Amino acid sequence: MSLKDIIGQEKAVRMLLGILIRQKVASSYLFCGETGIGKKTAAVDFAKALNCLNPQPAGPRITSDSPVDACEECESCSKIKAGVHPDFLLISPEERLIRIEEVRIIDDALSYKPFEGRKKTVIVDDAETMNISAANAFLKTLEEPPQDSVIILVSSRPDLLPETIRSRCSRINFFPLSKASCREVLAEKEKDAEKFSLAARLSMGRPGIALSSDLHEERKWVLNLLRGMLHAEKDGWSSRDEMQRWFDHALVLLRDMTVLKLTDDPRQLVNNDLEGYLTGLSKSVDVKVIIYIHQELSRIRRLLQFNLNKSITWNYTASMLRKGLVF
Ligand SMILES: [Zn+2]
């Protein structure tokens, strides 16, 4: 894939192509936006374009026909795609943490001139997971960027990065995809019609989320845990990732319950195959209570990054849901 093939991120792609055309490549970027909307893919495509041996025109999005986009076929593009280009490095957190050791690897990689390519490119995925010592060390790298190097921080929570780091990067914003674009991305990967339809609705503009997991199975698991909560069973999450996924689904279910209460129109539901279940769950509950629970769950979802205690969070959430929905 090259920049011109990215679906639905018109503004970000035009900015990146513009940077390539004007040859005004900054030493560091921050790609921001929700999880699953193509930030990392765009970062890799940008790295390919920076080093492509046979650049191509970037297509109809821009007026210039300068050859600046990746060809996808040359040795450089292939090596970056396979993650084996000597001038390309992708750093991801381990156990939700980027440590100072990773920053040392970045420094080491950037300390040489490009071996084969034009620009040494480092992508730091989920950059907000850097701990304090990693962030401090990384700031030094950003303050004195080695020549011919580009660092791209990718983050769904840029507000968690120190301001000193954010302010040194050129920011490129990405947004959830429109319904049509999301369906277009998913249609390329999901051939089962029923799964496709549910994934398109549940992903809510974030096709990467639908592609990285089986949302149908995941929702079954979410509903099962919800049942457990309402019956005062004990903590059913096994990790923080699971907690995050559970809250993401629960928020959409509460959103649907609110919509049902206010409009009584099942066509507007994300989970429209669960109309009966959701109607039953919200039948004797005031809409204000549902909205309150939604707000509380959103607040807890935001706090999850602070390593909330799993069983305390479970008990608190379960007791609120029982009071609100079962009383
Ligand atoms: Zn190429």
Query: Which CATH number does the domain housing residue 274 bear?
Result: 1.20.272
Give the distance (Å) from ligand 1 centre to CA of residue 191. 29
Give the distance (Å) from ligand 1 centre to CA of residue 120. 15
Exposure letters 264-300 (e unless 16+ CB within 10 A, then b): eebeebbbeebeeebeebbeebeeebbbebbebbeeb
| 17 and 158 housed in the same domain | yes
The one-digit pLDDT tens for each residue of the chain (327 residues) are 899 999 999 999 999 999 999 999 999 999 999 999 999 999 999 999 999 999 999 877 777 888 999 999 999 999 999 999 999 999 999 888 999 999 999 999 999 899 998 999 999 999 999 999 999 999 999 999 888 999 999 999 999 999 999 999 999 999 999 989 999 998 888 788 877 888 888 888 999 988 888 888 899 999 999 999 999 888 889 988 899 999 999 999 999 999 999 998 888 899 988 999 999 988 889 999 999 999 999 999 989 888 889 999 999 999 999 998 875
| 221 and 304 housed in the same domain | yes
Give the distance (Å) from ligand 1 centre to CA of residue 69. 8
Q: What is the CATH number of the domain that holds 80?
A: 3.40.50.300
Of 173, 204, 224, at which residue does a domain stop? 173
- Chain center to CA of 147: 30
| 38 and 148 housed in the same domain | yes
pLDDT of 196: 84
Residue 195 forms part of a structural domain? no
pLDDT of 226: 94
Give the distance (Å) from ligand 1 centre to CA of residue 7. 20
Residue 93 forms part of a structural domain? yes
Give the distance (Å) from ligand 1 centre to CA of residue 86. 15
What span, in angstroms and rounded, lies between the C-alpha atoms of 192 and 176? 23
Report yes or no: 15 and 170 within 8 Å, Cβ to Cβ.
Answer: no
Residue 181 forms part of a structural domain? no
Give the distance (Å) from ligand 1 centre to CA of residue 184. 25
Q: Is the dihedral of CA 53, 56, 61, 62 positive or negative?
A: positive
What are the angstrom distances between the C-alpha of 312 and each of 224, 240, 293, 302, 317?
Answer: 19, 13, 17, 16, 8
| 263 and 117 housed in the same domain | no
Residue 196 forms part of a structural domain? no
Residue 194 forms part of a structural domain? no
Of 173, 198, 230, at which residue does a domain stop? 173
Strands 56-57, 67-69: pairing is antiparallel
Q: What's the total number of domains in the chain?
A: 2
Give the distance (Å) from ligand 1 centre to CA of residue 82. 13
Give the distance (Å) from ligand 1 centre to CA of residue 71. 4
Give the distance (Å) from ligand 1 centre to CA of residue 193. 35
Give the distance (Å) from ligand 1 centre to CA of residue 110. 22
Burial class (CB in 10 A: 0-12, 13-18, 19+), 324: middle
What span, in angstroms and rounded, lies between the C-alpha atoms of 153 and 172? 10
Neighbours of 10 (CB within 10 A): 13
Give the distance (Å) from ligand 1 centre to CA of residue 23. 17
pLDDT one-digit tens code per residue, 197-247: 888 888 889 999 888 888 888 999 999 999 999 998 888 899 888 999 999
| 131 and 233 housed in the same domain | no
Give the distance (Å) from ligand 1 centre to CA of residue 22. 19
Give the distance (Å) from ligand 1 centre to CA of residue 278. 50
What span, in angstroms and rounded, lies between the C-alpha atoms of 108 and 250? 43
| 256 and 108 housed in the same domain | no
pLDDT of 189: 80
pLDDT of 194: 79
pLDDT of 192: 82
pLDDT of 200: 86
| 164 and 222 housed in the same domain | no
Of 173, 200, 226, at which residue does a domain stop? 173
C-alpha dihedral (270, 32, 241, 185), degrees to nearest 10: 50
The residue segments making up the domain with residue 154 are: 3-173
Residue 17 forms part of a structural domain? yes
| 121 and 222 housed in the same domain | no
| 167 and 275 housed in the same domain | no
What span, in angstroms and rounded, lies between the C-alpha atoms of 271 and 227? 17
| 26 and 157 housed in the same domain | yes
Strands 149-155, 28-32: pairing is parallel
Give the distance (Å) from ligand 1 centre to CA of residue 52. 4
Residue 72 forms part of a structural domain? yes
pLDDT of 327: 57
| 104 and 217 housed in the same domain | no
Residue 198 forms part of a structural domain? no
| 166 and 218 housed in the same domain | no
Give the distance (Å) from ligand 1 centre to CA of residue 48. 7
